[in-house]
């Protein structure tokens, strides 16, 4: 199983920190009842919040699909080793 780390800059919460990443865009997830219940179950299993869980799912997806849509040079320029 692949493991990923979250860029430490994304974890900075102090907005005055010069390394803070401004997050002006919001993402909306629409889940049916079955998937929503699965998210709740996984949140309880992993002991994290829904946002962290959904972010990790999105990150895993992006890393899985990146080699299919980016060439090797682009992957390296983003620092991806998917």
Tell me: the pLDDT tens digits for 42-75? 888 887 778 777 877 887 788 888 888 888 888 8
Q: Which pTM was predicted?
A: 0.60
In a domain, 2, yes or no: no
In a domain, 6, yes or no: no
In a domain, 51, yes or no: yes
Reference 65, options 43, 44, 82, 48; nearest CA is 82
In a domain, 17, yes or no: no
Q: Could you tell me which residue, 5 or 61, shows the higher pLDDT?
A: 61
What's the mean pLDDT in 15-42? 87
**CA dihedral of residues 13, 7, 46, 37 (deg, nearest 10):** 80
Say if residues 5 and 16 touch (Cβ distance below 8 Å): no
Say if residues 26 and 36 touch (Cβ distance below 8 Å): no
- What's the pLDDT score for residue 1? 44
> What Cα–Cα distance (Å) separates residue 78 from each residue in 7, 58, 75?
12, 17, 5
Q: Which domain holds residue 51?
A: 33-82
The domain total for the chain is: 1
């Amino acid at each position: 199983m692949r493991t990923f780390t979250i860029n430490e800059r994304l974890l900075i919460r102090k907005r005055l920190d010069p390394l803070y990443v401004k997050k002006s865009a919001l993402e909306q997830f629409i889940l049916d009842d079955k998937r929503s219940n699965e998210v709740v179950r996984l949140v309880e299993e992993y002991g994290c919040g829904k946002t962290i869980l959904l972010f990790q799912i999105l990150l895993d997806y992006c890393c899985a699909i990146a080699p299919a849509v980016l060439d090797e040079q682009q992957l390296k320029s983003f620092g991806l080793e998917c």
